[in-house]
């Protein structure tokens, strides 16, 4: 089901969501994230693939997490889902973004306004992704159409409330010249 984001500046074409953040889905995501059950990623990817009409894109990318969360959890939950979705969709996945700066966890923010302002300027282009894009551009100089050019990306997140995280990530990718950016969240919560 496609959703609209609540931000005034929209950098995403659409946001797709598989389910509401309640019941079994909520329990599944919480177990996956907070009890570090990495194997659930394959089940979630299959749930997404078989229940959600995702857009046709050139690349899929995860929302990054801070290094301290990565060390604590042992994995980035959205990256693991991207790995499995990449196979199911027949599309490559790359970590196109990194998270920088000091900010609070979006899940800990009560107000809508706080969530909207919390993540401003916290995403940056991953230097390895920038090199990848530049190497593809070098190969494509002088060609109008190229099958190697990345014109569309699907950004994967786990839970979405206001759409701020996905929108802020898309804003950075738009500056890099990506034309069509879509967001995806496993679940939508209030």
Asked whether residue 146 is assigned to any structural domain, the reply reads no
Q: What CATH number does residue 32 fall under?
A: 3.40.50
What is the span of the domain harbouring residue 181? 2-140+152-188
Domains: count for the chain: 1
Asked whether residue 83 is assigned to any structural domain, the reply reads yes
Asked whether residue 126 is assigned to any structural domain, the reply reads yes
Is the pLDDT at 69 greater than 90? The verdict is: no
Beta strands in the chain (DSSP E): 2-3, 15-20, 59-62, 97-99, 123-125, 152-160, 180-188
Model pLDDT, residue 104: 57
Q: From its phi and psi, is residue 5 left (phi > 0), alpha (psi between -120 and 50) or beta?
A: beta
Is the CB of residue 3 less than 8 Å from the CB of residue 164?
A: no
Distance CA 31, CA 39 (A): 11
Q: What is the mean pLDDT of residues 172-190?
A: 91
Is the CB of residue 77 less than 8 Å from the CB of residue 84?
A: no
| Closest residue by Cα to residue 28 from 5, 13, 48 | 48
pLDDT in tens, 73-128: 889 999 999 999 999 999 999 999 998 876 555 555 565 555 556 667 789 999 98
Asked whether residue 49 is assigned to any structural domain, the reply reads yes
Asked whether residue 77 is assigned to any structural domain, the reply reads yes
Strand partners, 62: 156
Q: What is the mean pLDDT of residues 158-186?
A: 91
Asked whether residue 177 is assigned to any structural domain, the reply reads yes
Distance CA 56, CA 152 (A): 8
Asked whether residue 70 is assigned to any structural domain, the reply reads yes
Asked whether residue 75 is assigned to any structural domain, the reply reads yes
Q: What is the mean pLDDT of the chain?
A: 82
Model pLDDT, residue 139: 47
Is the CB of residue 146 less than 8 Å from the CB of residue 140?
A: yes
Query: 3-state DSSP helix/strand/coil percent for the chain, to nearest 5?
Result: 40, 20, 40
Exposed, middle or buried: residue 75 (CB in 10 Å: 0-12, 13-18, 19+)? middle
């Amino acid at each position: 089901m496609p959703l609209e984001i609540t931000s005034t500046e929209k950098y995403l074409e659409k946001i797709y969501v598989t389910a509401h953040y309640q019941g079994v889905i909520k329990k599944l995501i919480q177990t996956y994230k907070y009890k570090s059950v990495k194997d659930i990623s394959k089940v979630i990817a299959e749930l997404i693939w078989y229940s959600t009409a995702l857009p046709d894109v050139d690349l899929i990318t995860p929302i990054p997490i801070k290094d301290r969360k990565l060390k604590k959890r042992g994995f980035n939950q959205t990256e693991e889902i991207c790995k499995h979705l990449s196979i199911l969709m027949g599309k490559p996945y790359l970590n196109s973004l990194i998270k920088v700066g000091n900010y609070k966890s979006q899940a800990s923010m009560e107000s809508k306004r706080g969530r909207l302002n919390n993540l401003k300027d916290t995403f940056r282009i991953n230097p390895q992704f920038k090199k990848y894009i530049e190497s593809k551009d070098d190969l494509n100089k002088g060609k109008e159409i190229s099958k190697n050019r990345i014109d569309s990306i699907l950004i994967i997140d786990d839970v979405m409330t206001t759409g701020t995280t996905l929108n802020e990530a898309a804003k950075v990718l738009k500056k890099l010249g990506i034309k069509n950016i879509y967001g995806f969240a496993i679940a939508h919560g209030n």
